[in-house]
Each structure stands twice: as C-alpha cells, then as structure tokens.
Structure 1
Amino acid sequence: MIDLKEQAIIEQLAQRLASKFAEVPPTTVEDVVRAQYARFDGRPVRDFVPLFVERRASSELSGRA
C-alpha cells in the first residue's frame, strides 16, 4: 500500500523536476519519476525512497535535456 505522505512527496518532486528540466515535456518528467518510483515497490524501508527517486530521475532527465 502506498503511503499518502510519500505519494505527496513524490508528486512535489515531479513538479520540482518539471521546473528544473523545463525543456523536457512535463509528461515525460512524470513518466520518469513514476518509473523510478516503481523500482522501489515492495521495499520495506521507505525513508529514503523520495531521495533515491529524485536522484535517479534527475540523472535520467539530465541526459534528455
């Protein structure tokens, strides 16, 4: 089950990355963030998931910019 607080953090993260990577279409940013977030499904320790998602998504989007 997805924690609503974690989901809100991921949504804010997607918005922040969309602003940072304005040359990348927002839907692409959302897709990248969702794909990175999905990599952590079922992992028991959730504390650092948003940080890991942000780092991986930012790295992937840097290659597209």
Structure 2
Amino acid sequence: MIDEELPLSLRQAQGGGSALQSLVHEDLSPYSVEDLASRIVTLEAEIKRVRDTLDNKKNRLSEASALFSFKGS
C-alpha cells in the first residue's frame, strides 16, 4: 500500500514509523498488570478524545453543508 493511501495517523514519519504504528506493534509482555491497566485507562481517554474531535468535525461539515445547500423550493 502506498503511504499516501494510509490514514495520517498510520503514515510513516520522516524519522521512521508513526507513534500509533509503534504503539500497535509494541510487545506488551514486559509490562506489569498495573502498567497494562494504566495503559488501558490512557488509551480509553485517547479514544474519547478522538471520538469527540470526530463528532465536532462531522457537526461542522453538516453545518457547512446546510449553509451552502441550494435546494429549490
């Protein structure tokens, strides 16, 4: 797959792989139970932040579409 076809979050940075790509492929076996639980809390917070941003973008797109729609009456 060509790098430009990947979502921005999975594209390789100039210095190597993306942070998300590294996170997804990281070996989790060295982590303690407490570390893994903390990681889950952090990732769930990040998922909420991403979903909130996505919702905001969708709302702005809907508002822009409504503003610029030229429906005949």
TM-score normalised by the shorter chain: which range applies? 0.3 to 0.5
TM-score by length of 2: 0.29
Q: Higher relative contact order at CA 8 Å, sep ≥6: structure 1 or structure 2?
A: 1
